[in-house]
Structure 1
Amino acid sequence: MLTRRDSLRLLAGAVVGAAALPARQAAAAALPARLAVAAGAPPTWTVTGSSSPSLQPFDDLLRSFMEAQSISYASLAVVRQGRLVLARGYNSTSGPVLAQPTSLFRLASVSKPVTATAIMKLVQDGRLSLSAKVAPMLGLSTAADSRLGEVTVLHLLQHLGGWDRSVSFDPMYRWDFAISGQLHVPLPVTQANIMDYTSRYTLDFEPGDRYAYSNYGYMLLGKVVEKVTGLPYATYVQQNVLAPVKITRMAQGRTAQSLRRSSELPYYSEMASATTVLDNSGAQVPMPYGGFNLENMAAHGAWLSSAVDMAKFTTIFDAPGLLTSSSITQVFAPPAIDWDGSYYGMGWSVRPVGGALNTWHDGAYPGTSTLMVRRYDGLSWVVLFNRWNDALQRNYTDDIDYPLHQAADAVTSWPATNLFPAYGL
């Protein structure tokens, strides 16, 4: 029987993964010197949307950061005490389009809190139990490893399911050719193919024993939503999670460049073109548009959103409403494993700060870097970029994270206005 290590040896080469769980440093850190704008003629710079003069530190940071990193499009939304106070699109290019506060970006792994919220809504409504066993619910074979039968919905939410991509592989990223070859199915492979393939290998650890970030686990949560509701995953989320808080622009992303939505920004990557995983043509395509299959990432990385819509999403967790107080507490509760400093709750990374919490999630793949933060003092923000760090094959979270905290701390007067109604929220 093949182990997951055997599978890794069968497909050598780089595997593009989602952003690793970041550590939030409490100590102050100066903005890295590399963020200084290079000497010479500055690129075109255009800012769209609404803000206030007192929030200039955010605009200054985004300009210096984007110009230093050669990022063409970004959007930032800032919430204070439930009110949207800044909604911006930032452009260091003259075209072909301009980022607006309502422009759509791929969210990458910032999709996971959306899926976790859908699961918690089903639990709250009495339609699902956190202790439900996933394998029998989804018809997963446990022949290769009987421990798969013990994986629960809670395990998946908290990344305790037994899959460790650092030990073996992440079936959601660039394993399409291996899956197609072993199962003798054409490209593009389906989620059912991925489940069949992955279930043929042993788990990397006992379910519930430790944390290991798993995109595959969140893909399974999307299938759980479909099994329980009888609806497509995205339909349930749009009707029961997003619509109740007036979020209507969010949609599932599509891989092919020709299928980019009208309000969606283009994605850029300096990585070499990849052989498309969308068909068996062998065609070479830009990495963001066929180097991976976005449609299969529905529940863990395929949502499109604007910054203002995700800023509205953060307010779900500020007070009872869509979720009850008990459900919100469960979302941010620590897992039943040892943790030090921070931990992963249900779709959110969590760090206790005194008697309150900092909660956040980031995301990345070629062409995308995203960060969503809820701070202990009632501040929240969402920043979305249309590229990642190609040289290091990671997102820009580590570079932009603390400077955003510094920008917030530099604000001496916060506006009392609320911009949400201006964006239909």
Structure 2
Amino acid sequence: MVFNLAILIFPLLLSIAISGLSEVQKDFPEMARFDEIMKMLMQYSNVPGAQLAVAKGGQLKYFKAFGVANRENGELLQTDNIMRYNSISKVITGTAIMKLIQERKLSLNDKPFTFLQHLKPPKGATVDSRLKNITVQNLLQHTGGWDRTSTGIDILSQPATLYAAQALDLPPPPSPEDAIRFMKALPLDFEPGSAMEYSNFGYIVLGRVIEHVTGVAYGRYVEENILGPLGIRGIKLGHTQVQRRAEKEVMYYGRNGKDSLWVSIFPGEGFVNASYGNLDYSSLDSVAGWIGSAGDIVRFVDHIDGLRQPAVLGEDMVYAMLNAGMPEKRYLKGDVLFDHSKGLFVFVSVDGEGKIRSFQHRGAATGAHSFFMRLREENITWAYVLNTWPLQDEFVYIAAGNISEVARGIQNWPDYDLTIV
């Protein structure tokens, strides 16, 4: 489905009352327009709690929280609360891979399954010979050969996790290594590199590639070699079950702010709140496992290419990230935000002349939703995180249109950086 962002922008109030705003907003009243957008969007999709962060030129200019972190006790959501990033985690994984390529410890043409020969498929299984042809670039670009829409097999969730456990004679849910063992027994759906179909499994493999190359656990490598040097301490790996919530982590509220029951992915738990039982985030570290704030997302994205110093990647790696070619047959072809027509681990939007306008990524699963966008020409990066999953297809497009339009129109940006004040 293709959306025209211009026609999705809700009419903004011509005059915005600023009574009751913080002193900062009184000095910079244009920033209050972001408040109006978030309140509008939250009402639109019954969102309990949200954060929105906006940076200009690598400096965080706006960061606010709205609604509640815990509906049961009325705890208000704050900017130091953290939430699930879901698939924005893939951008962290992709950045880590590119850093290893930059350090010449890996290449885009390396064949991951040659690294993973020790992970044996179920006994008696026939392994598709094309696995050995899959490259690191294929995995980054979702062109490895798996099509979850045609097979119904997405190793993140049930029933695939149950199939894997049964095939391997192990208790569910499968570890990342066991997921790879199970998937080795399935034929590819298309020739690697010939098409692009969004693949969570490919990023499970990339996490194990990082472990193979570095000799340390995926999460530890990212924390010690990427997040730590950037001074980003708020992003961490999360877990599924409510009793394993991290400090300052919010409560999650299903879809459109409504809870539902789900048969837990963990044996013996029976029916649980779906937000706490439909995925095993511990096993999905490199796919969907990171948690943090909207401000942390913005900071991380701005550090990737050095809009905020220090840069994680050099100019050649950033160029590849944004310009690597994609096959003609691809997921969401023609979509204004998510047509992966070029690039590696981010969705790149181009104008009619092929000029890059923005890059972005979203994350969504029952209980949480996140999205970031970098407006390239304007050097603006913004992100939101929510503690529910709005199911209206329009939500992310409405948000992208409204927030980007307001950000582009600001004439008087604050002179502070909220990450250091």
TM-score after normalising by structure 2: 0.85
Aligned to 2:303: 316
- The partner residue of 2:43 within 63, 67, 76 is 67
Q: Provide the C-alpha distance between the structure 1 equivalents of 2:318 and 2:46, rounded to a whole number of angstroms.
A: 38
1:330 counterpart = 2:327: no
The one-letter code of the counterpart of 1:252 is L
Query: 1:236-315 maps to which residues of 2 (within 5 A)?
Result: 236-269=221-254, 270=258, 272-279=260-267, 281-315=268-302
Aligned to 1:350: 348
Contact kept in structure 1, 2:326 and 2:342, CA below 8 Å: no
Helix, strand or coil for the counterpart of 2:148? coil
Q: Provide the C-alpha distance between the structure 1 equivalents of 2:251 and 2:262, rounded to a whole number of angstroms.
A: 17
Contact kept in structure 1, 2:89 and 2:290, CA below 8 Å: yes
Shift in CA distance, 413/291, structure 1 to aligned 2, threshold 3 Å: same
Aligned to 2:414: 415
Aligned to 2:16: none
Contact kept in structure 1, 2:8 and 2:397, CA below 8 Å: no
Q: Provide the C-alpha distance between the structure 1 equivalents of 2:31 and 2:111, rounded to a whole number of angstroms.
A: 48
Give the CA deviation at 1:274.
Answer: 1.1
Contact kept in structure 1, 2:161 and 2:173, CA below 8 Å: yes
Q: Provide the C-alpha distance between the structure 1 equivalents of 2:276 and 2:22, rounded to a whole number of angstroms.
A: 27
Q: Provide the C-alpha distance between the structure 2 equivalents of 1:150 and 1:240, rounded to a whole number of angstroms.
A: 29
Contact kept in structure 1, 2:10 and 2:402, CA below 8 Å: yes
Shift in CA distance, 415/32, structure 1 to aligned 2, threshold 3 Å: closer
Shift in CA distance, 136/381, structure 1 to aligned 2, threshold 3 Å: same
Aligned to 1:54: 30
1:203 counterpart = 2:205: no
Contact kept in structure 2, 1:82 and 1:318, CA below 8 Å: no
Shift in CA distance, 148/50, structure 1 to aligned 2, threshold 3 Å: farther
Query: 1:71-150 maps to which residues of 2 (within 5 A)?
Result: 71-91=47-67, 95-139=73-117, 143-150=126-133
Give the CA deviation at 1:178.
Answer: 1.8
The one-letter code of the counterpart of 1:104 is I
Contact kept in structure 1, 2:164 and 2:174, CA below 8 Å: yes
Helix, strand or coil for the counterpart of 2:100? helix
Which 10-residue stretch deviates more, 129-138 or 188-197?
188-197
Contact kept in structure 2, 1:233 and 1:299, CA below 8 Å: yes
Shift in CA distance, 418/115, structure 1 to aligned 2, threshold 3 Å: same
Give the CA deviation at 1:289.
Answer: 0.5
Helix, strand or coil for the counterpart of 2:243? helix
Q: Provide the C-alpha distance between the structure 2 equivalents of 1:137 and 1:356, rounded to a whole number of angstroms.
A: 35
Give the CA deviation at 1:156.
Answer: 0.2
Helix, strand or coil for the counterpart of 1:332? helix
The one-letter code of the counterpart of 2:397 is D
Give the CA deviation at 1:141.
Answer: 5.6
Helix, strand or coil for the counterpart of 1:351? strand
Contact kept in structure 2, 1:276 and 1:284, CA below 8 Å: yes
- The partner residue of 2:204 within 219, 229, 235 is 219
Contact kept in structure 2, 1:47 and 1:89, CA below 8 Å: no
- The partner residue of 1:162 within 140, 145, 154 is 145
- The partner residue of 2:136 within 153, 162, 171 is 153
Give the CA deviation at 1:323.
Answer: 1.1
Give the CA deviation at 1:134.
Answer: 1.0
Shift in CA distance, 118/50, structure 1 to aligned 2, threshold 3 Å: farther
Q: Deviations over 1:144-199 (max 9, x none)?
A: 21001100111000111001111112111222222222222112321122111111
Contact kept in structure 1, 2:5 and 2:397, CA below 8 Å: no
Aligned to 1:16: none
Shift in CA distance, 179/48, structure 1 to aligned 2, threshold 3 Å: farther
Q: Provide the C-alpha distance between the structure 2 equivalents of 1:407 and 1:91, rounded to a whole number of angstroms.
A: 21
Give the CA deviation at 1:244.
Answer: 1.8
Which 10-residue stretch deviates more, 93-102 or 70-79?
93-102
Shift in CA distance, 27/400, structure 1 to aligned 2, threshold 3 Å: closer
Percent identical among aligned pairs is 28
Contact kept in structure 1, 2:226 and 2:312, CA below 8 Å: yes
The one-letter code of the counterpart of 2:399 is I
Give the CA deviation at 1:23.
Answer: 5.7
Backbone CA RMSD of aligned residues? 2.5
Shift in CA distance, 48/102, structure 1 to aligned 2, threshold 3 Å: farther
The one-letter code of the counterpart of 1:154 is Q
Task: Identify unmatched segments of 5+ residues in structure 1.
Answer: 1-21, 34-45
Task: Identify unmatched segments of 5+ residues in structure 2.
Answer: 13-19
Aligned to 2:381: 380
Q: Provide the C-alpha distance between the structure 1 equivalents of 2:47 and 2:107, rounded to a whole number of angstroms.
A: 43
Give the CA deviation at 1:272.
Answer: 2.9
Q: Provide the C-alpha distance between the structure 2 equivalents of 1:231 and 1:384, rounded to a whole number of angstroms.
A: 30
Give the CA deviation at 1:410.
Answer: 4.4
Contact kept in structure 2, 1:79 and 1:381, CA below 8 Å: yes
Give the CA deviation at 1:248.
Answer: 1.0
* Aligned pairs, number: 386
Aligned to 1:43: none
Helix, strand or coil for the counterpart of 2:420? helix
Which 10-residue stretch deviates more, 134-143 or 210-219?
134-143
Give the CA deviation at 1:98.
Answer: 2.2
Contact kept in structure 2, 1:49 and 1:100, CA below 8 Å: no
Q: Provide the C-alpha distance between the structure 1 equivalents of 2:289 and 2:266, rounded to a whole number of angstroms.
A: 15
Q: Provide the C-alpha distance between the structure 2 equivalents of 1:257 and 1:49, rounded to a whole number of angstroms.
A: 37
Contact kept in structure 1, 2:305 and 2:312, CA below 8 Å: no
1:31 counterpart = 2:10: yes
Give the CA deviation at 1:122.
Answer: 0.5
Shift in CA distance, 407/203, structure 1 to aligned 2, threshold 3 Å: same
Contact kept in structure 2, 1:77 and 1:101, CA below 8 Å: no
Q: Deviations over 1:336-391 (max 9, x none)?
A: 4237664252210001246443000001000011101001211110100000135x
